[in-house]
Amino acid sequence: MNNIVNGVDLSIDFAGIRSPNPFWLASAPPTDKAYNVVRAYEAGWGGVVWKTLGEDPAAVNVSSRYSAHYGKNREVLGFNNIELITDRSLDINLREIAQVKKDWPDRALIVSLMVPCEEASWKHILPLVEATGADGIELNLGCPHGMPERGMGAAVGQNPDLIEKVTRWCKQYYSKPVIVKLTPNITDIRAPAQAALRGGADAVSLINTINSITSLDLDHMVAKPTVGHQSTHGGYCGSAVKPIALNMVAEIARDTPTRHLPISGIGGVSNWRDAAEFVALGAGSVQVCTAAMLHGFRIVEEMKDGLSRWMGEQGYRSITEFSGKAVANTTDWKHLDMNFKTIAHIDQDKCIQCGRCYIACEDTSHQSIAQWVEASGARRYEVIEEECVGCNLCQITCPVQDCISMVPQDTGKPYLSWERDPRNPFRIAS
């Protein structure tokens, strides 16, 4: 496979795993069998994480399994699933993995694993996986439904001691890279990441899905997806979870103990820009699931084309040249400049006089937009600069791109953190 797209090298070396591009399919239904994986490789994906393997007998799934949170025109904003790990036998999966890796040696192939939190279980399965020739393993310590009730998945990922223990077992009985997949269903993502590092993890991947109930059937008073007359919480994914995923990736990337730990970014990656944002916040590869389930494998063509074109425009010749570049500009609130000021400006030539900015500001913000109604009935909206606090609400509600801009003001004041702000009753003395 050609690593060069539009004159840019998209190849990566992620924790020792080489891939012709950073786009991997995440462990999920799209990677459940050789048929899917081969078609994904043919479409141009740089790697896959095979759907989670477990011990025999294989898991048994229910029907139905998926539900969605919709926006306007039935756009899927978030996706919910209550599907478990692979429901095919371990032997069938292992044989298919070995054959696919033999046939596609230039693509990354990582095997997701979940077995009971017992050393003997890991000691048994790891040599079997290593014999397939796969490039590495990903520990599924984040599944939020079904498996935690059996002491696996998020039940392990929410316990740093167990994360460290399981990771250590894997490093003891497996010689290739070990990636630990982290659950977002936790208070502080830094603790499990540090535990994985202590256990010897070569990398982490995140986020796994978020506990959720997407909607209810109010006629029958049961949540979706519905199994008979009941439902349960499931794992939430899709574009709606991207902001949560980006924050957690950044938390690990800027935390001193884990700042050099390779990260595979997961959560709402739907296009090249999403991928670039994850990489800029520290990810070395990105994993995609929901977007592929909604639009098919060929979306990777647009992702590679868009990313490479943007990189070329920015002068980046490789992924590593901008990986983590936004981390230094991501900080805690207390370090932000209290003297920085910006105010809104409305471009009257682009304004369509819809009044959404005025309504939002007048009803719910700082009453800093004036409405003028001319004799003809035409309306005009202007920012009352002395009242504007630069909250961005008007810009967000405006339906016309670039009609409202935020303009930085020269206050003549130096940088001032909240820690040293005289208005802070607990300020640090100079």
CATH number reported for the structural domain that contains residue 367 in this entry: 3.30.70.20
| H-type alpha helices, 221-355 | 242-253, 272-280, 290-295, 299-314
Catalytic residues: 143
pTM for this one?
Answer: 0.95
Same domain, 318 and 341: no
pLDDT in tens, the chain (430 residues): 778 899 999 999 999 999 999 999 999 999 999 999 999 999 999 999 999 999 999 888 888 899 999 999 999 999 999 888 999 999 999 999 999 999 999 999 999 999 999 999 999 999 999 999 999 999 999 887 757 677 766 789 899 999 999 999 999 999 999 999 999 999 999 999 999 999 999 999 999 999 999 999 999 999 999 999 999 998 999 999 999 999 999 999 999 999 999 999 999 999 999 999 999 999 999 999 999 999 999 999 999 999 999 999 999 999 999 999 999 999 999 999 999 999 999 999 999 999 999 999 999 999 999 999 988 888 999 999 999 999 999 999 999 999 999 999 999 999 999 999 999 999 876 5
Same domain, 265 and 295: yes
Q: Which of 283, 299, 329 delimits the end of a domain?
A: 329
Same domain, 232 and 344: no
Whether 223 maps to a domain, the answer reads yes
CATH number assigned to the domain comprising residue 103: 3.20.20.70
Q: Is-contact 54 111, C-beta < 8 A?
A: no
Question: What pLDDT is stored for residue 146 in this prediction?
Answer: 59
Same domain, 347 and 199: no
Same domain, 386 and 250: no
Q: Which of 312, 329, 346 delimits the end of a domain?
A: 329
Same domain, 91 and 233: yes
Question: What is the C-alpha end-to-end distance of the chain, expressed in Å?
Answer: 58
Same domain, 54 and 95: yes
Question: What pLDDT is stored for residue 154 in this prediction?
Answer: 79
Question: What pLDDT is stored for residue 430 in this prediction?
Answer: 56
Same domain, 341 and 317: no
**Buried/exposed code over 358-383 (b: 16+ C-beta within 10 A; e: otherwise):** bebbeeebeebbeeeeeeeeeeebeb
Same domain, 294 and 348: no
Reduced to 3 states (helix: H, G, I; strand: E, B; else coil), residue 381 is: strand
Same domain, 38 and 98: yes
Same domain, 286 and 218: yes
Cα separation of 379 and 156, whole Å? 59
Residue 340 structural domain: 334-420
